[in-house]
Structure 1
Amino acid sequence: MTHDPDELYSLPREEFTAARKAMAKAARAAGDAQAAAMIDKLAKPTTAAWLVNRLARENPSAVSDLTALGDALRAAHQSADGPALRELTRRRTEVLRELVGQAGQGEPLSESITRELEEMFTTALLDESAGARLRTGRIASVRDLSGAPAWPGLEVTPVKRAAPAAPRKSRDAAETRKAAIAEAKAAVKAAEGERAKADKAVEAAEKAVAKAEERVREITEQLDAAEAAELEARRGLQLARRGAKEAERAAAAAWRKRQRVEE
């Protein structure tokens, strides 16, 4: 087993935790304690993040279209092109709706998952680095799109472009964009807090299930042993009853013999 996180984030979500444990164990056995520690820290993707990762792997062109739209929006802001901004803003709404549908592959999604998908796609649209991270197909939550990567290789360096002297309208557009990003990040932070609470609840429930399964196993073993003991006891009882009947017949025969002798 390699130590590549791609293997983990390409698995079905329900297999992630067990596979992460096995990968970390393999890294320790190979003497790579640093890799094992990093693997242990890899977060299990939320349902929405898993859907985005799947989309990035199976339909990378859809994600590329999203980041291309972000580039176009930034260019329109810098040039203060009002008509282009209006058209691109309309297009952004359509693209976000289409991407949410493609990520779910036509399956009905809960409101919370839909909201998180929209937050991730919006963050990738507004931030060039976030868009590049989303294309890797190995994110665990919205936080991965705005924070430092948890694994070497997730680092991305946006292409540097020469920035022309910005007119007043361009600066105003930049300030508007900055405010929008700040608002989006605040919403992401709040959603991430709720996600963390939900993850803790899931973890606690998983531990309770594991404990209950272990208890059921113990009780089953005890029941099997008790049933075996009961079966053995019944066999002993049958033998004892058979011996008692034979002894009773022998005693009766001895009594009759004595009577004949006495007569």
Structure 2
Amino acid sequence: MDELYGLPREEFVPARRDLVKRLRAAGDRDAAARVEKLPKPTTSAWLVNRLVRTDPAGVDDLVALGDDLRAAHTQADGARLRELAKRRTELVADLVTRAGTDLSESITRELEEMFTTAIADEAAAATLRAGRLGSVRDLQVEQTWPGLTLAPGPTAPAASPAAPRRPARSRSREALAEAKALVKDAESHRAEADRAVTAAEDAVTAAEERVRELNAELDAAEHAELDARRALQTARRDAKAAERTAGQAWRKLQQVEAE
């Protein structure tokens, strides 16, 4: 399946279909079914998959930074965390630039989210490094290290243990839960849209293949018609020649009989 995710995005659907056919022909129906369900990568996921293959050093930097951040957090090294947080912001921006140019705001935001998530979560980093992303959802994680958020920037100082709980914190959590629910719904709708786009692309590809088949049949029919017309012309010439020969023979016979 790696070969699919290394292709140009517009070639994914035809290549997936060919791979499914080959797997079925080989008798591996389970693998064929799994491949058939693979979604076409979103633009941002495709850009990351390409970056993994064309710029592995940049991905190595991302993984190494994640390791350094986890180590600094374990050691409670505030100065080191602030230094690495700045480096994180710079690296994410650099990786987005390496991934592509003239990107829309939404694609840029998704790239930033994927790179930042991979830095914060070791499992997400491994998933990104494999280069088989279908969308930003493939890297979503439920939680990260305490006190270290996914958003680039320095961590906030811890609150004093004696500080009382503030109702606003509860409201913030409720707002966060609502925001996460909205994101989940939006991601669900986007997944449905992605599936609809993939189905439409499959239909277009199938229609194009049928048009090519019909064009080939039309070409063959036109060639057959041309050959038939040529054969008819030849037959008519031969018939006229035979008619002339027969006429000459009859005239010769008449001359002989007259003598």
Normalised to the residue count of structure 1, the TM-score between the two structures is 0.62
What residue is the counterpart of 1:226 in the other structure? 222
Counterparts of 1:80 and 1:208 in 2: how far apart (Å)? 56
Q: Percent identity?
A: 37
Q: Which amino acid aligns with 1:141?
A: S
C-alpha contact 1:124 1:134 (8 A) present in aligned 2: yes
- Contact 2:69/2:81 (<8 A) preserved: no
Gaps of 5+ in 1: 149-157, 161-166
Q: Structure 1 residues 249 and 36, CA, compared in 2 at 3 Å: closer, same or farther? A: closer
Aligned 8 A contact 2:45 2:133 in 1: yes
2:112 to 111, 118, 124: 118
1:129-144 to 2 correspondences below 5 Å: 129-144=123-138
1:48 equivalent to 2:44? Answer yes
1:57-116 Cα shifts (integer Å, max 9, x gaps) = 52232221452476489x49x9796x8887666544322211111233xx5444443232
Matched, 1:102 2:101: no
1:204 aligned residue: 200
Q: Distance in 2 between matches of 1:121 and 1:109?
A: 16
Partner of 2:27: 29
CA distance in 2, matches of 1:210, 1:84: 56
Gaps of 5+ in 2: 147-157
Deviation at 1:141, TM superposition (A): 1.2
* Matched letter for residue 53 of structure 1: N
Amino acid in structure 1 at the alignment position of 2:62: V
Other structure's SS at 1:29 match:
coil
Q: 1:42 aligns to what SS in structure 2?
A: coil
2:62–2:91 Cα contact (<8 Å) kept: no
Q: Report the CA distance between 1:21 and its aligned residue.
A: 1.9
The CA distance in 1 between the partners of 2:217 and 2:23, in whole Å, is: 32
Q: Report the counterpart of residue 164 of structure 1 in structure 2.
A: none
1:238 corresponding residue in structure 2: 234
Q: Structure 1: how far apart are the matches of 2:117 and 2:34?
A: 25
Q: Secondary structure at the match of 1:139?
A: coil
The normalised TM-score by structure 2 is 0.62
| Distance in 2 separating the partners of 1:117 and 1:205 | 24
| Whole-angstrom CA distance in 2 between matches of 1:35 and 1:261 | 90
* Aligned-CA RMSD value: 4.8
Deviates more, 1:253-262 or 1:241-250: 253-262
